[in-house]
Amino acid sequence: MLVKPFRLNLVSLVVASAFSSLAMANGTVDSASVDEQISIFGNKNSVNEVPGSAHLLKQEDLEKFNYSDIMRTLTSVPGVYVLEEDGYGLRANIGMRGTGQNRSEKVTIMEDNVLAAPAPYAAPAAYYFPTAGRMQQVEVLKGTSSAMYGPRTTGGVVNMLSRQIPEEALAGQLNVQAGQDGFAKLHGFVGSQGENLGSVFEVYRYQADGFKDINHSDADTGFVKNDVLGKVRYNTDTDADFYQEFEFKVKYSDEDSDDTYMGLTEADYNSEPYSRYSTSQKDNMATEHLQLQFNHTIELSSRFSLGTSVYHNDFSRNWYKTSKVNGKSLGSGGIEIAAAHDINATETITVDVKANNRDYLSQGIQTVLDADFDAHQLKFGVRYHQDEMDRYQWVDKYDLDTNYHMTLTSAGQPGTDSNRIDSGEALALFVHDEWTLGNLIVNAGLRYEDMKLARKDWETPERSTTPDYTENKLDVVLPSLALAYKLTDDLVLLGGVQKGFAPPSPGNDEASNEESINYELGARFSQDALSAEATLFLSDYDNMHGNCTESQNCADENIGQQYNAGEVKISGLEFKLAYAIDFGDISMPIDLTYTHSQTEFLTSFDSDFWGGVTAGDELPYVAENQLQFVIGLEGDKWRTNLLARYTGEMRTKAGSGVVEEGIDAHTVVDLVASYDIAKNQQVSFSVDNLLDESYMASRTHGSIMVGKPLTVTLGYRVNF
């Protein structure tokens, strides 16, 4: 593991001393706060003030459908693409503006404004994702708005704000739900705020038996996930010479899920879409995650404030899952053998179950100085970050007999399948100026990153020999420019350009950077109960990366490798409309989200990731059209909302013309209703997939994964 010590708050002290001489005499101003520090929107009164594409899902937005699945939550944001896998959102696949969704590796994921992926530089594929159901707010930036955040700046940023310390002397909530397929959720928090000391404690547990059945077996297909969070904050008196806040956060989570990469053949999907093959009966994911975060803010003067965060994320997981059947990988015939055996088990077959055992570490320190020069709002930021992924894997061998029982025949030795450490170290600096010139706002930014990415690969489990070593050292300068012009009090025009970037993988010293120039042009309108926005975007790649993972059906020897696609062009339109019709005692809120996308490879090549590509082919897993429509009715004590989400036809392989082995267009409808039985108590009723649509979620390893069927849930919530 990484053992380099932190120089606690050193960066903060250096920046503070460099700028404190510029500070004006102390004055009574609005105090800098940790809450503003961990939000990417800071103290802005409205998202409309942000030049570029920006979306804010507030607590009331998140509570409307009360999803635990982050992918269902984010479909209300235009320009965001999701790819379901397990049906409950445990393996989040999120992309933006055509970047690709695989394990959200092309999107910067943050919790409380610090990097949340297990190893965002060394191994960005996020097999861990923060528990979305406990979040109080979700912020999404795309394009030029995301230029201050890295390391991946082409697509955008998702920043999730965890439970904040309440302002009351005592406040809390208890929320319980129960539903079909053994679904159950317990969510509760309690917190208090005194004159100088505040705290909050939160518990979130959810589970299900799963909606799939394993053929000829009573093995589980569900999950249990626990999440516990605690925060303590101390603040000085508001009239102190230098107002300060100190906050410590600790978060622990674990998961036990009987999840698999094995989908179904086309024939079995058509006949029994919610079945699983008996060869997957041992598949299981076990994870643990610990996050420690210390936040500090100080009001240096009426013009200067400084916010610093020190963070540490420790994540371990072992996805124990079937990788070969009769010596064939899942993507090269293993699934067909499993399917045939379940129909007619005339002989014993062999099953390899790989222990994808990995430990991750991500830690760093970051600080931002905010400077208020009236027309100029400046930010100066520094981040030093370290991360690593330690792979120590093995393969156990089983026999699956004619009675569909799996018997261990050979236990693998840990470290004999994959035995390597990928690591990343990065220093990032940025300066950002928001310059107001009458009705024109100019956002100009410059980001610099200096990175070292390395891989150590051992041939022996003991790691006693000298490992093979590869290293990538690089630095990059990323400029951005965004403009917002207020035509009227209600109408704002937006435009911007930025350089997008993603680093190469540690193990591929011949891979080039992923680089692009990204453009956007749009408008926002807001008047009374009506708001609308439309944005045209273009991502012009000089080089696009494809990262091989097991979920992408890559061969074992290529897992972790990176491939270059060369020039790629992705363009599209994002549109959002919201309106509330007032009928007096009843209101009818309406929300429409639409995304249109066009993708094109501009070069021809062959790779294990995309396969054979011809210039002019379209990218896989990017629907040309996505639409979501929400309509509701709200009374004094009751409310109901109906959501219809349409996803157009998608390719699963690069190509042009007629889509072969794609994912058909489908529409999923969700319904939720709630009633206030008392001022502080509410009961709810929800149905996911109201029409019980059976639809393909994805094709992995040449097989089909199915979406979640109709699921009814009842809930009760009390606030105090």
Look at residue 1 and tell me if it is in a domain.
Answer: no
pLDDT at residue 13, as a whole number = 41
Look at residue 423 and tell me if it is in a domain.
Answer: no
**What whole-number distance in Å separates Cα of residue 233 and Cα of residue 245?**
7
Question: What is the CATH number for 158?
Answer: 2.40.170.20
Number of domains in the chain: 1
The token pair at 459 is 């041939």
* Residue 248 CB partners (closer than 8 Å, separation 6+): 231, 232, 233, 292, 293, 294, 295
Query: b vs e for 316-342, b when ≥16 Cβ sit within 10 Å of the residue's Cβ?
Result: bbbbbbbbbbbebbbbeebbebbbebb
Average pLDDT of span 240-264: 96
Task: Give pLDDT tens digits for 553-608.
Answer: 565 656 667 778 899 999 999 999 999 999 999 999 999 999 999 999 999 998 87
pLDDT at residue 228, as a whole number = 98
Residue of 432, 459, 570 lying closest to 514 (CA atoms): 570
pLDDT at residue 47, as a whole number = 75
Look at residue 416 and tell me if it is in a domain.
Answer: no
Q: Where are the beta strands (DSSP E) in 9-155?
A: 53-57, 80-82, 94-96, 108-111, 114-115, 137-142
By residue range, what is the domain housing residue 270? 10-408+428-719
**What whole-number distance in Å separates Cα of residue 97 and Cα of residue 536?**
11
The whole-model pTM stands at: 0.92
Look at residue 2 and tell me if it is in a domain.
Answer: no
Look at residue 301 and tell me if it is in a domain.
Answer: yes
Task: Give pLDDT tens digits for 620-650.
Answer: 999 999 999 999 999 999 999 999 999 999 9
pLDDT above 60 for 256: yes
Look at residue 421 and tell me if it is in a domain.
Answer: no
